[in-house]
Chains A and B, each alone.
Chain A
């Protein structure tokens, strides 16, 4: 399959590139990698990264070295719902480890793995700036805060039914689960 943005994504990409002075289009690499990850199944394959390099007229290595540095870019396929759960101090103090065990049992996977049906992946992440509403996880753009095992069950059951891929570009509900 040929890797190519659809027209809407290409327009977004060009708008992003226009934010920088002439010749500084390399600055668009992070925003474009985010866009590509959302457009192409939630992860960055070599052909996808090569495509971004071609848009920005930079060497592929300049894209690879960036993509592998930042933790939000997935270098291998992930489930439709990537659960990014915080395990740093404030969340840890308020029960993040119990929550992680609960999710691992519920989904029958370990952190770092994807469910067999491809619906969920679980990833331990560092502080997401939600310390006052700990414990929490992020799925796509949505923050789910003040979590309890009951809330987690409700959220994951809902997502299980919808089955839709979640991305960082999703519209969010600012009052959900706060």
Chain B
């Protein structure tokens, strides 16, 4: 059995209720933080833990926190990014639905460390049914003195509010999320300034993913050094993996980073339980739709023959020529019957639909990629279309305000690089 932190109490009935959560040590980290630690000490523990943003970018959380500007008399905000919309990713939903107090405790610890007295959970609108779950947990935590005024008898005050989005993948990008929270279209902002300096309503703001914030609870429970002992290299701690596609046991699994090989993750009964219907593995998208898709021989082994492990570094080994990324941990498995060009069409349609339209390369390029892929899979493609796809993606990559451009380009580049045959099969 692997080490579990975030899903440690997942099997406990009613862990979503405050009293049950408390029976299992809940709010002990928050109590320790607020009553015995300074905010700087908490930031130090998070730095020592090596925790990296779990939304997909993998930026060191402690460093992000340390960038927060603290001008006197100006409010600071923590915003929890619960806009989980990366295709293949459903771990934050799982966590919020089943253990809302873990997120609230993480927000309490994090808000205290950052000096925020108001924090927002920005949740994608489609997850509307989770709003009452979070709001009930907030109400109960408030009644028990963990939120509101003079928390646990100290002079620290914190209010947490839930804000619903309206259906827009782009709002998972932190500056688009802030625009949306301000009641505007989700158009990403030019950076700098970064949100740590000018974020929500122009105030210093930290935006962290649900899983990142929840991880702070275990970091404070045993200390950053203990957390950093889990995992391998710069992939410390544990990560939630959302497993879907052609496997026997789709679901959310917690792994210790770097300790489980991709092969074990796919085939072990503890995780995916093998490819379904006794079929062979063809390809894996390991970290959500945006990361490069890899064929079996490259996802199971690095190009120099080492087993590929579930960690930021191992999945990234070989760069985009032979590697991919851990991303959000959205692990989509495809069996031998899938034509990768056909699957790519669903991604291209997705990114075209979700482009905010601000930058021409993304707005126009995603549309062209969708149309060309559609023409190929409908039997109207030409061989030159494959090179055209390559050309278009290369003209989006790196040329847009926000990373949606790259997110749309990489699936195309990797599909053409590794599965050109699949496109050619559809061209008559």
A102, CB-defined interface residue at 8 Å: no
A119, CB-defined interface residue at 8 Å: no
| Interchain CA distance A56-B330 in the complex, whole Å | 39
Docked-complex contact B334 and A93, CB < 8 angstroms: yes
| Interchain CA distance A126-B243 in the complex, whole Å | 18
Of B132, B163, B166, B332, most buried by chain A (CB within 10 Å of CB) is: B166
| Interchain CA distance A124-B75 in the complex, whole Å | 41
Docked-complex contact B245 and A90, CB < 8 angstroms: yes
Please give, as numbers and ranges, the residues of chain A lying within 8 Å of B87 by CB-CB distance. 88-90, 126-127, 131
Please give, as numbers and ranges, the residues of chain A lying within 8 Å of B321 by CB-CB distance. none
B353, CB-defined interface residue at 8 Å: yes
Docked-complex contact B75 and A21, CB < 8 angstroms: yes
Residues of chain A at the chain B interface (Cβ within 8 Å): 19, 21, 24, 26-31, 33-34, 56, 58, 62, 65-66, 69-73, 84, 87-90, 92-94, 125-134, 138, 141-143, 168-169, 171-172, 174
Please give, as numbers and ranges, the residues of chain A lying within 8 Å of B129 by CB-CB distance. 141-143, 172, 174
**8 A Cβ contacts from B152-203 to A:** 161, 163-169, 180-186, 201
Please give, as numbers and ranges, the residues of chain A lying within 8 Å of B201 by CB-CB distance. 21, 24
Given A89-B343, A92-B346, A131-B89, answer yes or no on A126-B250 (Cβ-Cβ < 8 Å).
no
Given A126-B87, A127-B87, A129-B93, answer yes or no on A66-B350 (Cβ-Cβ < 8 Å).
no
> Which residue in chain A gives the minimum CB-CB distance to B354?
A126
Please give, as numbers and ranges, the residues of chain B lying within 8 Å of A56 by CB-CB distance. 183
A sample of 9 inter-chain contacts (CB < 8 A) reads A24-B201, A88-B349, A89-B245, A125-B126, A126-B353, A131-B242, A132-B90, A138-B126, A141-B128
A130, chain B: closest CB distance, angstroms: 6
Docked-complex contact A27 and B244, CB < 8 angstroms: no
B289, CB-defined interface residue at 8 Å: yes
| Interchain CA distance A54-B165 in the complex, whole Å | 21
Select which of B124, B126, B182, B289 is within 8 A of A24 by beta carbon. B182
Docked-complex contact B338 and A93, CB < 8 angstroms: yes
Please give, as numbers and ranges, the residues of chain B lying within 8 Å of A129 by CB-CB distance. 84-85, 89-90, 92-93, 124, 126-127
Interface size on B, residues (CB 8 A): 58
> Which residue in chain B gives the minimum CB-CB distance to A37?
B166
> Which residue in chain B gives the minimum CB-CB distance to A25?
B183
| Interchain CA distance A93-B342 in the complex, whole Å | 10
| Interchain CA distance A132-B246 in the complex, whole Å | 10
B115, CB-defined interface residue at 8 Å: no
| Interchain CA distance A130-B88 in the complex, whole Å | 8
> Which residue in chain A gives the minimum CB-CB distance to B161?
A19
Docked-complex contact B166 and A69, CB < 8 angstroms: yes
B285, CB-defined interface residue at 8 Å: yes
Please give, as numbers and ranges, the residues of chain A lying within 8 Å of B166 by CB-CB distance. 30, 33-34, 66, 69-73
B31, CB-defined interface residue at 8 Å: no
Please give, as numbers and ranges, the residues of chain A lying within 8 Å of B182 by CB-CB distance. 24, 26-27
| Interchain CA distance A84-B126 in the complex, whole Å | 10
B291, CB-defined interface residue at 8 Å: no
Docked-complex contact A72 and B183, CB < 8 angstroms: no
